Amino acid sequence: MRTARFIRFVALTAALVGCAHSSIEDCRTTDWFSLGHRDGRVGAPVSVFESYRAACREAERPPDRDAYEAGRWAGLQIYCTDGNGFQVGRSGRVYHHVCPLDTEKAFLAGRARGMRLAGCRADLFVFDQHLTTLERELESRRQALEAVTLPSEARNRLLREVERLDARYQRTIGEMEDVEVRCMNQLWSDRRTATPPRP
């Protein structure tokens, strides 16, 4: 609870200028290992500690950097994995180049797969929106064809438009399915590459 309150204080430093007593209490009682562990788990940049140092400048007890770094290192062991990299890439979160060299490659490989999946979702969203528009256009023309007093020339024009739109609709569905297949194949290929063969 105290750590969470301190985080909120750092984020709102400008608004809490008059609450110096509260900030000093937080700096004195914060569990710096736990705070570092939390920052490491989310891949926060190392510069975050400087904001803590600035917030605690007037405290009698400055931040415990050794405890913070130890916690952050432990948190990075959770963050810098292939699986978490995939989640980071899929969600579009920023990577602050915080992973150690021995784990960064696996993290970046997972992140690359996640980014490709995110790109596929964006492509599929475009197709989905376009199909919705085509469906509306088709429905409006089919409703117009139901008019009893529609002249034959106008009816023939609408029939041609329905035929053209329907062909475009079917073509778009095919293109969308191709994208889905390509994305799934790429994802499975990436997973096989990322998983070392068992001895």
pLDDT in tens, 26-37: 788 889 999 999
Nearest partner of 139 among 165, 160, 175, judged by Cα = 165
- Give percent of the chain above pLDDT 90: 38
Per-residue pLDDT tens over the stretch 112-147:
888 888 888 788 888 888 999 999 999 998 888 887
Confirm whether pTM is higher than 0.85.
no
Residues 6+ apart with CB under 8 A from 71: 32, 33, 34, 35, 36, 37, 38, 39, 40
Q: Is 12 helix (H, G, I), strand (E, B) or coil?
A: coil
Lookup result for tokens 């068992």: 198
CB 105 within 8 A of CB 80: no
Residue 139 is encoded by which pair of tokens?
């429905």
Residue 106 is encoded by which pair of tokens?
């696996």
pLDDT for residue 11: 41
Q: What is the dihedral of CA 153, 155, 159, 160, to 10 degrees?
A: 20
How many CA atoms are closer than 13 Å to the CA of 6, on its beta-carbon side? 26
- Give percent of the chain above pLDDT 70: 80
